[in-house]
Amino acid sequence: MAETPKALEKIRQINAGFPYTDPIKAWKERGGKVVAWTCTYVPEEVLWAGGLLPVRMTGDSHELELEDANAYLYINTCSFQRACLQLTLNKQYDFLDGYVSAATCDGSRRLADVWRNYIHHIPLIYVLTVPRKTSERAHQLYLSEVKEMKQKVEEAFNIKITDDALHQAIKLYNHTRELLKQLYEMRKREKPPVTGAETLEIINAAFRMPRDEYNKLLEELMKELNDSKREVTGKVRLLISGSPLNNPDFIMTIENEGGLVVADELCMGTRYWWDPVDEKSYSDPLEAISRRYLDNFPCARMVPCDERFERILALTKDYKVEGMVAEIIRYCVPYAHDEPMLRERLESKGIPVLELDLEYGVSGSGQIRTRAQAFIEMILDRRG
């Protein structure tokens, strides 16, 4: 494989400063405000249009001691939410000026409750209600929620979010989606130019810097990849599905055993960027934004589950996937509930599934390596 692209090295330098990265520091030094969000159903465009920097709140890319967080959240709250709270209690998110969550699971709601009732140091804490369906009534409800979110943001920061600013934000974020689509198209190749672990690093940076700067970095990366002869090889083409995952080492562990992760169904991957905002069909930019976020590649919480399953099956076909790895964080109820039904559909198409029940942040444990190795060998044996 050819040398690491310079743009990817820059991305690694940015990610190394998590959570208070150098681009966020520079934004704050210029007097800018930073608002965190935790769920992909929170429309970033609304925050950006208000002159705010949206950053995604996550835990670290390794497993944390969660003793402080466990004092506030039940132990059967998923370790992703508890890791976010632990970093907050450790004052590593003290640079934030606001926090917007979505009521997509109990853990997400409880994290906002703890922040509101016990931490108190920011002017904006808002929880966005998200319907579980995509009917017309659901769309109207969600649009009203997005409008209320906009109002709360304006009040908290004494700003005005204009339609023109929203249109500009839509164009900016749609450009990100176009660039990430190009990156993922490259992963369809027999020998793609990036690994699955590198792809996760690239998307992690999207959550940790201003979007215009990120787009320039992505453009630089795409040019380097297009101009290079970089090729990644693996024994078996895999798709990763499941709970929140921002730990590249987890994917690297699987790839070191001979897997090649060419696609994903993750809220920190495909489900984050897949569908663009329709810039032409709606005169109201808020409606265009809300339609996109509710209709986007569905989370496991959405009902019915058929659209999500069909999209995953389409990914397996388009990316020539030979097996799926399901990483389910313990107590992540939506994904644990859906997994047996998804496994049945995939196996009916001849695609085996490796289920990994783990804690958020776990990466290269011996058990994961052993199970990944056995899974890859099983697929190779099937080939004959």
H helix intervals, the chain: 6-16, 22-29, 44-49, 67-70, 79-89, 106-114, 136-157, 163-186, 196-206, 211-227, 248-256, 270-273, 285-295, 306-318, 333-348, 366-383
Distance CA 151, CA 128 (A): 12
pLDDT score for 363: 77
Distance CA 289, CA 348 (A): 36
CB 35 within 8 A of CB 98: yes
pLDDT score for 2: 67
pLDDT score for 264: 98
Distance CA 65, CA 223 (A): 40
pLDDT score for 3: 86
Q: Please write the tens of the pLDDT for every residue from 226-270.
A: 999 999 999 999 999 999 999 999 999 999 999 999 999 999 999
CB 207 within 8 A of CB 177: no
Segments of the chain scoring below 50 in pLDDT = none
Distance CA 63, CA 153 (A): 33
Q: Please write the tens of the pLDDT for every residue from 195-223.
A: 999 999 999 999 999 999 999 999 999 99
One-letter amino acid for residue 185 of the chain:
E
Distance CA 359, CA 331 (A): 9
Distance CA 73, CA 113 (A): 10
Distance CA 371, CA 326 (A): 12
What are the structure tokens assigned to 104, written together?
């997509």
Three-state DSSP class for residue 132:
coil
Distance from the Cα of residue 74 to its chain's centroid:
24
pTM of the model: 0.97
Q: What is the torsional sign of CA 177, 43, 100, 328?
A: negative
C-beta neighbour count of 234 within 10 angstroms? 20
On average, the pLDDT of the chain sits at: 96
